[in-house]
Structure 1
Amino acid sequence: MSKAHTVLVIGGGAAGNAVTVLLRRAGLTVDLVEAEDDWNATAGSGITLQGNALRVLRELGVWDRVKASGFGFGSVGITAPDGTVLHVARDLRTGGDDLPATVGMQRPQLQRILMDAVRAGGARVRLGTTAEILGQDADGVSIRFSDGSEGRYDLVIAADGLGSSARAAIGVADKPEPTGMAIWRVAAPRPTGVVRTDLAYGGPAYIAGYCPTSDTTLYAYVVEANRDRASIPPETYAEEMRRLASAYGGFWPEITAHIIDPAKVNYTWFDRLLVEGSWHRGRVVLIGDAAHCCPPTLAQGAALSLEDAWVLAQLLTSGEAWDDALFRAYYERRMARVRPVVEASVQIGQWQLDGVRDADVPGLMGRTMTMLRELP
């Protein structure tokens, strides 16, 4: 590269942290700003990381910590609502044969691992800080921070999530749209016999499932049709999730007994977003949930965001000019990968909403996951 580039990353989630680590490793000057004071260090219950996500985490140099902190497994069970196991399928190793098919882990633990990697890489981090795009030209972007200071960068990477203010600020009109489903999530102790994800279809919810996240923990979730959030007071979250989960057998009674604290239960709608045309405007480029999101029916949200960071960092450090051609190449490379995952994730949920009983869910999942074995 002809000169030392400066980069501002807006957002300290998985995508923002990953791209920061990779760019710092290449010697670029990187500032990261995160709106939350605690850097989201305690947010969320659990996360399912499939092989293509693990492949990027290995590239970041954090795989050993992820492996030690999470729970690896290689299959998924399909059960009846009463807990009877109907089928066990082997998961495809989308990250290659030298990585587990799947690792479940506590989401805050993954965030702490990525935070530590960002700090170790030497990026300047500013928490409790937002960034406003004042304007840009062919050479860079002018920024005003919420503390009143200003800065100028050769590139701004908007990794500020589903409700991205940077996306709106650069004139991208796409917004997330609800798919019609919602999910209840909670972290709980892991019953001894839970050694993989099990999914129950039917009963009072569309899906009731759980994923081990360590030797002692799991996260459990129940998927239903979305409801008006205003009609569900937060203090009733535990009661509502417990009511749905109590209809399921097998390990569920043991799990349900721990759904007590409403503050530890998370309720969110499923959304769909796929920004079309391009993921950049000038010297501002979108990654992660700011550019795309999908229901977790394929457990690919974080994986796709991590892949975005990996691909963008490869292009930015390739020695090529940071111009429209480079950012267009990023968009085209990622869209070919992201679109089928978003569409498949939405389709699986829609089949359930429509009550389609003969849908080829295994076939669609198999085709999509086979595609993800290829390098992004």
Structure 2
Amino acid sequence: MRNDRTVLVIGGGAAGNALTVLLRRAGLDVDLIEAKDDWNATAGSGITLQGNALRVLRELGVWEQVQASGYGFGSVGITAPDGTVLHAQDDIRSGGDDLPATVGMQRPQLQQILIDAVRASGAHVRLGVKATDFDQDDDGVSVRFSDGSEGRYGLVVAADGLGSATRAAIGITAKPEPTGMAIWRIAAPRPAGLTRTDLAYGGPAYIAGYCPTSDTTLYAYVVEANRDRASIPPETYADEMRRLTSAYGGFWPAITAAITDPGQVNYTWFDRMLVEGSWHRGRIVLIGDAAHCCPPTLAQGAALSLEDAWVLAQMLTEAGTWDDALLQAYYERRITRVQPVVEASVQIGQWQLDGVRDADVPGLMGRTMTMLRELP
């Protein structure tokens, strides 16, 4: 039996789920495996989705659910640490004028929407399963799995995230590198009158910000220099975050009062990575965080991953042959868009680490987001 148009997707996050839905819509057979038993064991409290991410979610057919679950807005404010608004400006509608500039939502809700779309697509999903071995030839890939089963595929897509085991297995040596910053995040009740993202630069943290995620919720975050995570006991996470946020005014006192449960506080370092040269070896190709990651200073991590899935699905379904030239063309199409975003995201953080006071952060943000209005 020929399996040259059958796809294995490794990883059930945003990129893997989006690709699965799009390929199934085109009539391709797709197997999706996810290493976790709980498909929605999603870390993090919230997510900011810019317009170019919303454009892909609309293409997936889930925009109405995202719109109903999240909170759309169109501007960003810059405040002093005491809460005084210094400047407010309209966000660039990077997904087009018929979509909001930004939607904030609770990350687990987005994941559940995508899970439901995968289930409805008819893809074959297995949870708690890993790919343990790959054997490639010119026609496809034979895969052995952690449950003892085997499969044969025309293409394997590694959407297994920042620490991708598949990336290492196919000999790509790129690894994520810390940028020097870390972020504390928490979901909290949304105070009345808070209707957009505001960012405070300065004070005890580099950035203190929040994003509304529904009519009643938000997620709040503070960015500082990264510390040895082993030196911060998890039971002190709420105390640590509250110590930082208590120095900020405006809506922050109400938010700070809700930071009480250390189990609800998420602490992670900022990383950067960009695989260059190609994102494939033979018939195994990387997408999303397995190929690139950047600090969330432009809120583009999920958007770039969703775009990867959209572009790869287009190219696979339109091509008569899946070969090296096609996968290299996918890389070349994506690298010209992804690289400037990764570099800009890192640069914004580096300016803060270096204490550069005259950095053109608004200009760099504006140029990058304007570029992202173009279709990927």
For the aligned pair, the TM-score class normalised by the smaller chain equals over 0.9
- CA distance in 1 between counterparts of 2:68 and 2:81 reads 32
Q: Which runs of 5+ in 2 are unaligned?
A: none
Matched, 1:231 2:262: no
Q: Deviations over 1:29-68 (max 9, x none)?
A: 0000001111134432000000000000000000000000
Offset at 1:3?
7.6
> Structure 1 residues 75 and 299 mapped into 2: Cα distance closer, same or farther (>3 Å)?
same
SS of residue paired to 1:248: coil
CA distance in 2, matches of 1:133, 1:52: 35
In structure 2, what is the equivalent of residue 59 of structure 1? 59
Kindly indicate whether the alpha-carbon contact (under 8 Å) linking 1:80 and 1:86 is maintained by their aligned counterparts in 2: yes
Task: Answer yes or no: is the 8 Å Cα contact 2:3–2:152 preserved in 1.
Answer: no
Query: What one-letter code is carried by the residue in structure 2 that aligns with 1:14?
Result: A
Q: How far is the alpha carbon of 1:143 from its aligned partner?
A: 1.1
Please tell me whether the aligned partners of residues 183 and 267 of structure 1 are also in contact (alpha carbons under 8 angstroms): yes
CA distances 1:348-368 after superposition (whole Å, capped 9, x unpaired): 000000000001111111100
Alignment of 1:347-362 (within 5 A): 347-362=347-362
Superposition deviation, residue 4 in structure 1:
6.4
The runs of 5 or more residues in structure 1 that have no matched partner are none
Give the Cα separation in 1 of the matches to 2:60 and 2:40: 20
Residue 300 of structure 2 corresponds to which residue in structure 1?
300
Whether 2:207 is the aligned partner of 1:246: answer no
Deviations 1:333-353 (A, max 9, x none): 000000000000000000000
Asked whether the 8 Å contact 2:184–2:267 carries over to 1, the reply is yes
Q: TM-score, normalised by structure 2?
A: 0.98
What secondary structure is seen at the aligned counterpart in 2 of 1:135? strand
Mean Cα displacement is larger for which, 122-131 or 284-293? 122-131
Alignment check: 8 A CA contact 1:41 1:112 kept: no
SS of the aligned residue for 1:183 comes to: strand
SS at match of 1:82: coil
Matches within 5 A, 1:62-141: 62-141=62-141
Q: Which residue of 1 aligns with 2:268?
A: 268
Q: RMSD over aligned Cα, in angstroms?
A: 1.0
Partners of 1:193 and 1:202 in 2: how far apart?
Answer: 23
Partner amino acid, structure 1, of 2:5: H
Aligned length: 375
Give the C-alpha shift of residue 263 in structure 1: 0.9
Q: Which amino acid aligns with 1:375?
A: L
Counterpart of 1:250, as a letter, is: G
> Shift in Å at residue 319 of structure 1?
2.9
**SS of the residue aligned with 1:83?**
coil
Change (3 A) 1:233 1:110: same
Q: Is the 8 A contact 1:21 1:117 kept in 2?
A: yes
Paired residue for 1:333?
333
Conservation of the 8 A alpha-carbon contact between 2:18 and 2:306: yes
**1:256 corresponds to 2:256:** yes
The aligned counterpart of 2:344 is 344
Q: For residues 180 and 317 of structure 1, what CA distance do their matches in structure 2 show?
A: 41
SS in 1 for 2:224: strand
Query: Residue 133 of structure 1 contacts residue 141 of structure 1 at CA under 8 Å; is this kept in 2?
Result: no
Q: Which residue number corresponds to residue 289 of structure 1?
A: 289
Whole-angstrom distance in 1 between the partners of 2:46 and 2:97: 24
1:110-135 deviation per Cα after TM superposition (whole angstroms, max 9, x unaligned): 00000000000000111111112332
